Structure formats: structure tokens, C-alpha cells
Structure 1
Amino acid sequence: MINIAGHLRRHGRIWRAVAVQALKRDAQFRAQAWTTALVALAEIATGLIPVLLIIRSSPQLNGWTGGQIIAVTGTFQLAMGLINAFVAPNLTRIDAYVRTGELDTVLIRPASAQWLTTFRWVQPASLTGALAGTALIIVGLWGTPISPVGVLAAAVVFGCGLATIAAVWANLAYLAFWFEAASFIHNVVLSALTAGRYPVAFFPSAIRVVLIFVVPIGAAATLPVQFLSHGVDPVLLAGVVGAAAVIMVLTRLHWRVALARYSSASS
């Protein structure tokens, strides 16, 4: 137990240093940081246009009110803001690590190589989108009675959805150990995630399953709002938590298999 605690403290200190370095980098290159923030806000504005058109044409659709649909858009933007800040800057670099041999410098460091390749880089300016998404959630759910159980369930399903998205993306990124050209995967993932902008109730049943359990942007975007406004579904909550646990174990195993195939630049 002591070793585990020390292990967690060491990685916590490393991540804190990474976050401080990222903030200093954004402060040094302020123009780039402002551009990233403005792009995030522009994406939110353009993403809201079809949502507002839907609301205007029908005040309620498939059991979802206009405010709830806006809240889903906000949760989606919150999720994407966190993904763009903490996940995308790392996983999009893995294929370069493998091709150039830069992974060697990661493997020799006194920390988990998988952890470093997942959390080494942070892009604080992308959190602008997360803050704007939070504002949309508040606006969309304003006046909706919310229970403490609903808030807890929403937080759990949101966290599990984000973790599963990161794990699925990581598994696809690890294909770089087998294929030289794996960079296209990241564009595919980002394109698939855009479906989370709308409630999963808008999609056919088969697509709903994919958006909740396979590419779980629906779990991160729709289910939190659903649990807050429509009530908690214990079976669905347990399914999302279970799926997150399974994919985490599989991701760890996949990393070990992929790393065994790696030929370092010095070999």
C-alpha cells in the first residue's frame, strides 16, 4: 500500500510539473493560446446553429425539450474541451514517438511509459471550450429540479464516458506499433465524436449502443443530462461503469503487447 501511495504521489508531482510547464508555454506564446481559445469558441457557436434550428422547428423532440438539447450540446463541449486539453495532445503524438524513436526517451524515465504517453502534454487554452460548455449546461437546465443522486450519477457517467473515449482512442493509437501510417486514425476519431452533439435518442437503436458503449461520446454528453432531467437509470449506469472498467484492463494489456513489438532507435 505504501508503494502504491508513493507511486501515485510521484506521478502526481510529474503531472503538476507538466501542467505548470503548459501554463508557462501558453503565457510565452500568447497569440497561439488566444487563437486556440477563439477557435474553441467558434466551434461552439457553429455547433449551436443546427441545435437552435432544431429547437425552433420543434420545442420538444423525442421527449427532449429545447433546454435539455442545449444542455447536451454544453456537455458535449465540456467533454471535447477536456479531451482537447488533456487527451488529444498526447495520443496524436504516439505514432511520431514510434516512427522517430522518441519513445526511447519516454521508456527510460522513472514513471509509467503508458502514463507519460497519455498525460505528458496539456493544452490549457482548450479549456475555454469546457468553460463555455459548462455555461450552456447551466442555461439549458435552468429551472430543472435536480436531485443529489442525479448529480452524482451524472458525474460518474461523465467521468466513465471520458475515460472510455480516451481508452478507445489509445487502443487505436497503439496501432502505430503495427502500421507506419496510423495518423489518419485521429481524424476518424474526432469525426466520430461529433455525433455526441445531439441526444442519442435522435439516433436509431444500433447507433445508440455504439455511441454509449463503443465510441461513448453519448455516455459523456447525453447520459449526464438524461440522468439530471429524466431520472437515473441504474442498469444503464452500471453498464457504462462496467464497460469503462473492461476497456481500461484491455488497454493496459494492449499497451504491453504493442510495446513488445517496439524496436527502439538504438537497437
Structure 2
Amino acid sequence: MSANRTYADERRPLDRNWLHRQWRHLRIWRGFFARAVVRETHYRAHFVTTLAVGVVQLGLGIVPILLLYGYTDDVRGWSQAEVITLVGMFQIVTSLIATFVAPNLNRMTTYITDGELDGVLLRPVSSQFYLTVRWINVAELGNVLNGCLVLVLGLVLSGATPNALEILQAIVLATCGLVLLACVWSALSFLAFWLQSVNAIAFIYLNLVDSGRYPLVFFPIGVRAFLTFAFPVAFASTFPAQALQGDLGWLPVAGGLGLTVVAVALVRAQWRYGLRSYSSASS
């Protein structure tokens, strides 16, 4: 399979009607989700194990906060309850990534180096869409619920009563954080077009994500800039938590939306460029 033909197939429209194409992609995703649910019913122990591991990880994330606030009531303007709210938000976003993003990007090296991408490119569907949404780990959705419970607990303890606009801000920012972190991981995974393996890079990514368990102001100024623009985990935890506390305006929301649009466009361009250099694992 030639690189030119591969790139041409990727850019060939599936249908003249854009809305019809999007509806078709939605139906394909629904099929993926339905099969994931069926798989999960056959392995109930996996669901229980994943949920238990998620609870343990959540507990390990809260313990350092309890120890820190055992000596003070305020750390750089953040109370213990506010940080618990942030941890809940972080758990929600990272669990969604573990549900819909990680199962696919962890396989990206195999797709490209073992030639599985060859068969996908022949399908009448966007290859990037197919390879980034095909697998779903339904069991991780239980940890999303755990995150919601911790988030509500933090809000109750802090006495915060967010209004509809503040809740909307938090949802938009968390969505931006989810997409941005997925884009960063995708960009790293797509390096498999040029590198033999990106597993080590993915390991670094997962360790950097853990920085989102703490408010942005806990870090030095240079690190704050990095966690906002280069590795934008702040949009997945700090900013949504601030929005729920009523401490955030609309400027970060607009910035998050703009950054998300740019990130999606860059990742799409990277995928197309990678396809141009891909000639087939069997060639």
C-alpha cells in the first residue's frame, strides 16, 4: 500500500452530507460501546477489580491532602474541602480518559508497527476516529461515579453552592481538560509513525497527569505555565474546581475552548502527516 494512496483514502469524503457522516460515526461508536458492555458482562470480576483499584487509588490521592491539612487550615488560599473537590474533579476526568482514551492509545504502537493499520485504512471510515474510539473499558465508569461522590463531598464540606452558570463553567472546563489531555496523549502516541515504540513516552505522560491532583498554585510559576499551556492538566482539575467555588471568570473558559480547538487541529494534522510517511508494515 503506497503512502500516496493511504493519504488519499484518508482524505476521501465518505458522503457529501457532513451531518450524515457525523451520524454514521456516532452509530459506529454506539456499536463499539454496546460490544464493550457485552464483553464486560462476561468478565464481571474485571469490573469489581477495576472498581476496587479505583477506590484504592482515590484513597491514596486523598491521604496526602489529609496529612498536609493536619497542620494547617489553608495552603495558598485553598482549604482542605476545596482540594477534596479538586480531587473529585480530577478523578472524574482521568476515569473518563481511562474509559475511552487509554484502551485505544495504548494499542497505537501495535496498530502501526504490526500492520493492523493497513486493514483499517481500507474501511469506509476515518482511520483516526476508528483507532481512537474502538475500545472502551466500561469498568472504569464506576470510578467516574466515585469521583462524583468525592466532588459532592468536597462541595458540601466547603459550603459551596454553585449556581447554574458556575456549573456550566466547570463542565466546559472539564470537557476541555479531557479533550486536551487526550490530544496530548494522541500526539505522543502518533510518534509511533516514526519511532519503534512510544510506551516509555506514555509512562511519562501518566506520571505528569498525576500533577493534576493538586491546585495549580502549589507549583512554581514556571511549572504552572507548563501545566496550563504545554501539558494542560489544569483544565481538568484546578480550573473546574475553582469554577464550582465561584472563583473563576469566563476568560479561562474562553482560553480553554480556544486551546482545545488548536490542539484538535494540530493532532489531526499530525495524523495526516504520519499517514503520508506510512507505507505499510508489510512493505
Q: Same fold (TM over 0.5)?
A: yes
Structure 1 residue runs of 4 or more that deviate by more than 3 Å after TM superposition: none
- 233-242 or 151-160, which deviates more: 233-242
56, 73, 96: which one aligns with 1:82 = 96
Matches within 5 A, 1:71-150: 71-142=85-156, 143-150=159-166
170, 193, 217: which one aligns with 2:186 = 170
Counterpart of 2:30 in structure 1 is 16
Deviation at 1:231, TM superposition (A): 2.5
Greater RCO, CA 8 A, separation 6+: 2
Q: Matches of 1:88 and 1:233 in 2, distance apart?
A: 32
Q: Matches of 1:165 and 1:197 in 2, distance apart?
A: 14
Deviation at 1:237, TM superposition (A): 2.1
Q: Matches of 1:12 and 1:124 in 2, distance apart?
A: 17
Q: Matches of 2:144 and 2:223 in 1, distance apart?
A: 26
192, 200, 208: which one aligns with 2:208 = 192
TM-score (norm 1): 0.96
Q: Say if 1:213 and 1:240, in contact at 8 Å, map to a contact too.
A: no
Deviation at 1:153, TM superposition (A): 1.1
Q: Secondary structure at the match of 2:197?
A: coil
Q: Matches of 2:27 and 2:79 in 1, distance apart?
A: 44
Q: Matches of 1:235 and 1:206 in 2, distance apart?
A: 21
Q: Matches of 1:27 and 1:126 in 2, distance apart?
A: 14
Code of the aligned partner of 1:248: V
Percent identity over the alignment? Answer: 38
Query: Once superposed, what is the RMSD of the aligned Cα atoms?
Result: 1.4
Q: How many residues align?
A: 267
* 1:2 to 1:114, Cα distance in 2 relative to 1, 3 A: same
Code of the aligned partner of 2:19: A
Deviation at 1:2, TM superposition (A): 7.1
TM-score (norm 2): 0.91
Specify every segment of 5 or more residues in structure 1 that has no aligned partner in the other structure, as ranges.
Answer: none
Q: Secondary structure at the match of 1:256?
A: helix
1:64-102 Cα offsets, whole Å, 9 max, x none, are 111110010111111110000000111111111011001
Specify every segment of 5 or more residues in structure 2 that has no aligned partner in the other structure, as ranges.
Answer: 1-14
Q: Say if 2:177 and 2:233, in contact at 8 Å, map to a contact too.
A: yes
Counterpart of 1:247 in structure 2 is 263
